[in-house]
Amino acid sequence: MKCIILDMTAVTAIDTSGIDTICELRKMLEKRSLQFVLANPVGNVMEKLHQSNILESFGSLYLTVGEAVTDISSSLWKAQP
């Protein structure tokens, strides 16, 4: 499965519209068999994502893009026969 990583490093604030957009984007990508993961949500953004319960719908949350790439790459490598 291919993966889209959203690097949230530059996102310093988020509201319900932003959270709804992330949810809709995740649903749209899943319909296309693409995995969507979040990387490096900082401070207040992380807190609001947690409060909205959106993080439960994501399989993983990564602290860095590098961590996401490493984990996803190793998962894909293991999945191949």
**Mean pLDDT, 10 residues at a time, the chain of 81 residues:** 90 95 93 93 92 84 92 70 54
Whole-structure pTM value: 0.80
Domain annotation for the chain: domains and CATH numbers = 2-79 (3.30.750.24)
CA 43-34-52 angle, 5° bins: 30
Question: Would you state the pLDDT for residue 77?
Answer: 58
Question: Would you state the pLDDT for residue 12?
Answer: 94
* 3-state SS class at 12: coil
Question: Would you state the pLDDT for residue 81?
Answer: 54
Question: Would you state the pLDDT for residue 56?
Answer: 85
